[in-house]
Each structure stands twice: as C-alpha cells, then as structure tokens.
Structure 1
Amino acid sequence: MTIDEVVLLLKASQATGLTTLQELILRSSWEGKTYTNIAFEAHYGEECVKKIAVDLWQLLSIFCNEPINKSNFRQTLENHRLSEAHQQLIKEFNRAATAISLEFPSGPVSLNSRFYIPRPPIEELAYAEIAEPGSIICIKAPQKMGKSSLILRLLARANNQGFHTVTLDFQQADKAVFTSLDKFLYWFCVNVSRELQLEPKLNDYWDENMGSKVSCSIYFQEYLLSALSSPLVLVLNQVDWLFEHQGIAGELLPLVRSWYEQAKGVEVWQKLRLILVYSTEILVPIKLTQSPFNIGLTINLLPFTKEQVQDLAQRHGLDWTDGKDAETLMAMVGGNPYLLRLALYHLVGKGGLKGDLGQLLQQAPTEAGIYHEYLRQFVLGLGDESELRDAFYEVINSTNYVKLEPTLAYKLQSMGLINLDGDRSTPACELYRLYFRQYLKKSNSLNNNCVEQLF
C-alpha cells in the first residue's frame, strides 16, 4: 500500500473519517518523523500525539492481522496489498465523496482537494530542500502542468514550519518596471518588503555610486533578512517572463546566484530559501557559472503516467482499474493534468456527458467539445505571432518530428503545445494536432473569418 491508500482506507472505514491531526500523524510517521517533531509541527502536546498514534496503530493492526507500531508502520504497510473488500470499500468511499466534492479544474488544486495527485518523490525532495539553509529550488514545466499546485503545497509546508513566505509574479509588473535595472530592483525590494509587512526603507540603503545590484543585496542582507527571526521562502514566479527583457534577466539571474553562494559563508543569507518557477529553457546569454538554474534542486514536472491517471479517475469515482479507459483518454490528451481533470469532471456527470468517454473524445477536437473554450485562446494568441503560428503549423502537419528554430521551439514548449526531445519537436498530444489543423493556416495573417467562427 501507499500512504495515500492507507489514509483512504481509514477514512472509508471509520464513521467519523480521519481528523486533520490523525492524517498528519500518519503521513509524518510514514516519512520517519519522531513524535517530538510531529507534535512541534502540529502545535500539539507530545503525549496527545502519542495517544492518538497508538489508536491508529491498533486500528491498522486489525486491518493487517499483524501488530503495527510506529517503527514498523511503513515497512509493513508497503508490503501489504489491499484486499478486494478494502478496494471495494475505498471505491465506494471515492464515489460518495466525489458526488459531494467534485470541483471544476481551474487554477491551482487547493490544499484540501482530493484531486491532487502526488508525484513522488518530488514533493518530499522539495519539502526537504526548503528546510536547508540558503537553498534554491528550480521548478520547470509547461503551462497547466501543476507548477502552481506544487508551489501551494511548498508554501503551506513552509508556513507550518513557521517560515515567512513571499511570492512575486513578474507577469504582474507594469511594463515601466522593466525599462531599467534600477527601477526593476527597486520594485522588487518594495514588493518583498510589503509582503513581509515591513516598511520599505530603500532610501536608507540605496546608493547610486554602488549600483542597484549591490544596493539590492545590502537591502536584503542588512534590513529584510536581518529583521526576520525565521527563514524566508521567496518564490519568483514566471521567471521566463524576464527573458523578454534580456538586460534585466542578464543582471538579476547572476544576482540570485550570488545570494545562494553567499549563504555558504554569511549566516544571514542562510535564512533565504529561493524557489524559481519557469516554463521554458533560459533564453538569455549567461555564463553557466552565473546561472541559478544549474544549482540546488531542479524539478521537471512530467506528464501524468497511466497509473496516475487511473488514480485520478478513482478519485472521481470511476473504475478504470483495467487501464483501458485511461489509455484511451491519454491517446487523445496525453498526460496533461488539466486536460485529464477536465475530461474526468465531465465524465462523472457535472458536464452532462454522464460517463460517455467515446462521445467526449469524438467531440474533443471540435467546437462542440469540452476543450474548445480553452483551445481557442491559443488560436487567438498564435494569430498575433506569425512566426510562432507557422512553426506550430509545421509541427502539427508533419508525420514525423520537426526541427524548429530554438527560440520558437522553447516558446511553443512553454505554452505546452509541443514536446521537445533534444531539437525534435512533436505535438504535445493528438488533441492539439486534430484541433489546430482546423484553425491554423500557414499564411502571413490569420484568416479573420476563422477567428470569428470561434465565437
């Protein structure tokens, strides 16, 4: 069994389910944490945690017909298979819970959602990394692949450990911010200050003679980090948005790298834990020794596997244990988490298709399909980018792979429209090939009538 199956089994078998504390004890014990650590993280007394844990071990001992305790919990359960009766119990629980908790897939998967699919060992590696002094995590994946959902969980873990957390999304900055490095770093420092509820005091630390990069570093070291009694997890989201402003990116990225390196010798910098989030390869000429993307922990979020799709289907109350329906759906949309969740949302009835996978897939690449609203945004966006549109048109109309100009390939990959294997470009999924063939034409401008038909 996995820890998720253990938790589900106990939730399904108990009339009152599991409390948040009980689930925390189970998951933390699975990770090998001591009762002392669990009590500290949960803000409960250690004796209280031990008492609750003993009740859980007794309950699991009954299910497994052998003694379970904290020391043998994981080893025993990992080697124990769910019985058919227990599988059916979980299936019925999922079906009933789904009817109550079904949610439309939009934005990050919430912390309390049953539809978040873990990607072991990614989560545990990331949790361990942010606990390391002066650490840095680089998270790379195309759009709609689960970056925001993972970040949400990293920030929740950081908050539970008493850390400060700040998220900066460069896409939200005004264009004027990117007109000079000085303006950008000033904006950067002001926003971090306010997120920390500290009064911005840049005038006390900014020195034109030293330059904005040195001033920014001094501001962080002598003011922001020194004012904090616990570590700061700083998320830099949409980092590839900076690639459009090479002058800014070419200065900021080495600066971030220097902060990471300073943490090796300067204690106050060890409070800073950085998370860089981006969708594409770096498009800024920068030396490897100055790049922050080749240090720390690098996470590439990959498409869901068939087993993960089956797990997601089960959480929607569908019995796809034989794998055939999972394979059929993946043949159309691949392992894209968003496309998969949207299909499952409709299949369980909220979308009106009531489980008819064949009908859903038949309509998928058409205006009547469930993906039309989502896909037409790409059509309109590509219509303004003739080179990008023509490059994608070439990919979806090829019977083999295509070698594109790197900048175009990286942009299409960041949008999630193509897969890249070295310099070989192929459509990310069959849905994109079928749908976009109808709406993209290799010409200097997108046919206006075609755009109008989308609305």
Structure 2
Amino acid sequence: MLFFLGKEVVLLLDEVDELYKYPEITEDFCGMLRSWYEESKTLEIWENLRMVIAYSTEYHGTLDIYQSPFNVGKQIELKEFTEEEVTLLTLRHQLDPKIVTDLMSIVGGHPYLIRLALYKMSQEELTIENLLKEAPTDSGIYRDHFSRHLETIEKRAKIKAVFQEILKANSPLRLPDKNREVCQLEGMGLITMKGDYAQPRCQLYRQYFQERLGFAG
C-alpha cells in the first residue's frame, strides 16, 4: 500500500493498552509495530508511514522493551495535574473545591486517579472521607488499578526488588544507574525521577504497595 500510494500514510491507534487483555496476540502485534518503526530508519518506502499511538503506561512492565513500540519515537506524556487544574475539574464535576487538598494529598496530580475519584464522588458513590479511608485497600475504587500493577510486579522479580528498595526509603532514593527496571517502573507510572533520585509517584502508591509487597514503611 505504501508503495502504490507514494505519499505519507498516518495510522492512528487509540487505547492500544486494551490489547493486554489478549496476551496471545499482544507480543506479536506490538513487535510488528516496533518493526515498522525500525524499518522506517533504513527503507525509504517505510518513511511514508506515520503512527500515532495512544495508550496507558500501566502495562509498560509486561512487554520486552526491545519489542515495545511505546519507548521509541516522539513521546507526548500527559503531565501531572496542577492544583489549579484539579480545582477546575472538581468544579466541573459540581463538587466542593474544598476536597482538592485532601484528594491531592494521597494521589498527587495523577490524572487517572484524580479523574476516577471525581467521577465516583460526582455520582454520589462515595464521599471524600470514605475515599481517604478506603483508597489504599482492596475494597476501594482503585482496586482494579492496583491489581493490574501488582500482577505485573509479582511476575517480574527484578522490577519487584527495585520497587521494594524505593518503597523502603524514607526519602527519594539515589539510583545513579538508571537500569531497565527503573525505566519500566517509571514507564508504568509507579515512580517519579528527579535527576538520579526515585520515589513513589504518590502517597497512595507508597501506602498500598508497602503493605502488599511484604513490609510496612
């Protein structure tokens, strides 16, 4: 097709992370996308293919980084919400902006965690008090989110070991050698890096995963 068209073709793929529900095809499909990207570096005809891939980083740790199409090309990351942005979203959900401080104290500006909490509260399914109490447990609104991350971590001993070291530290942990496991944890959105220093992305992650990975902070 690229040969006969003789012009650029843009392939748009949304919610590619949904593929991870079907592990029997995920590796081959993602490997194919990665190979197309690599071909564009050496074969002129493949330079006409442009791919725009939208996905959640939640599953980063499940795929070989050398087969992943998610760690190459130009990456545009959804940044942490600011307090002003969370306040605006809170008002749009017709909620009291006074909840913003308490909400951000546990989830920071994490876009998904913020959005889910505001949606549930706007539907009157829970209050901010219940959220603060139940969020770091398996009965809270984030249980499915936690479960997916925990499954990935438990299957990968090296990722688990690095994450445990970060969780154990009472302050940001210096990791001068940013190895593959650190990159995967960062890609999964579980940690943040400032220079050589790593820490859990938010207090909620610290609380939940300290408990589930076999130690209290």
**AA paired with 1:370?**
I
Q: Pick the structure with greater CA Rg.
A: 1
Given that 1:364 and 1:370 are in contact with CA atoms closer than 8 Å, whether structure 2 keeps it comes out as yes
Q: Distance in 2 between matches of 1:300 and 1:378?
A: 19
**AA paired with 1:341?**
R
Q: Given the alignment of the two structures, is residue 439 of structure 1 paired with residue 216 of structure 2, yes or no? A: no
Q: Which residue of 1 aligns with 2:77?
A: 300
Q: Given the alignment of the two structures, is residue 335 of structure 1 paired with residue 106 of structure 2, yes or no? A: no
Give 1:246 deviation, angstroms: 8.6
Q: Which residue of 1 aligns with 2:95?
A: 318
Q: Which residue of 1 aligns with 2:23?
A: none
Q: Distance in 1 between matches of 2:159 and 2:33?
A: 24
Q: Which residue of 1 aligns with 2:180?
A: 407
Q: Distance in 2 between matches of 1:409 and 1:248?
A: 24
Unaligned regions of 5+ residues in structure 2, if any?
A: 18-25
Given that 1:406 and 1:423 are in contact with CA atoms closer than 8 Å, whether structure 2 keeps it comes out as no
Q: Given the alignment of the two structures, is residue 392 of structure 1 paired with residue 163 of structure 2, yes or no? A: yes
TM-score (norm 1): 0.37
Q: Given the alignment of the two structures, is residue 369 of structure 1 paired with residue 134 of structure 2, yes or no? A: no
Q: Which residue of 2 aligns with 1:234?
A: 11
Given that 2:39 and 2:46 are in contact with CA atoms closer than 8 Å, whether structure 1 keeps it comes out as no
Q: 1:365 to 1:246 in 2, by over 3 A?
A: same
Q: Distance in 1 between matches of 2:104 and 2:183?
A: 23
- Cα deviation per residue 1:233-292 (whole Å; 9 max; x = unaligned)? 213656xx87xx99994x5434234578987xxxxx4xx543255747x955xxxxxx96
Give 1:319 deviation, angstroms: 3.3
**AA paired with 2:11?**
L
Give 1:348 deviation, angstroms: 2.3
Given that 2:3 and 2:45 are in contact with CA atoms closer than 8 Å, whether structure 1 keeps it comes out as no
Q: Which residue of 1 aligns with 2:130?
A: 359
**AA paired with 2:96?**
D
Q: Given the alignment of the two structures, is residue 423 of structure 1 paired with residue 196 of structure 2, yes or no? A: yes
Q: 1:276 to 1:359 in 2, by over 3 A?
A: closer
TM-score (norm 2): 0.71
Q: 1:345 to 1:300 in 2, by over 3 A?
A: closer
The higher-RCO structure (CA 8 Å, 6+ apart) is 2
Q: Distance in 2 between matches of 1:259 and 1:317?
A: 53
The 5 A counterparts of 1:63-82 are: none
Unaligned regions of 5+ residues in structure 1, if any?
A: 1-218, 264-268, 285-290, 443-455
Give 1:370 deviation, angstroms: 1.9
Q: Distance in 2 between matches of 1:319 and 1:380?
A: 35
The 5 A counterparts of 1:257-296 are: 257=41, 269=48, 272-276=49-53, 279=57, 283-284=65-66, 293=73
Q: Distance in 1 between matches of 2:194 and 2:45?
A: 32
- Cα deviation per residue 1:301-332 (whole Å; 9 max; x = unaligned)? 21111122112111211131xxx422221111
Q: 1:421 to 1:277 in 2, by over 3 A?
A: farther
Q: Given the alignment of the two structures, is residue 220 of structure 1 paired with residue 2 of structure 2, yes or no? A: yes
Given that 2:192 and 2:200 are in contact with CA atoms closer than 8 Å, whether structure 1 keeps it comes out as yes
**AA paired with 1:410?**
C
- Counting aligned pairs with the same residue, the percent is 30
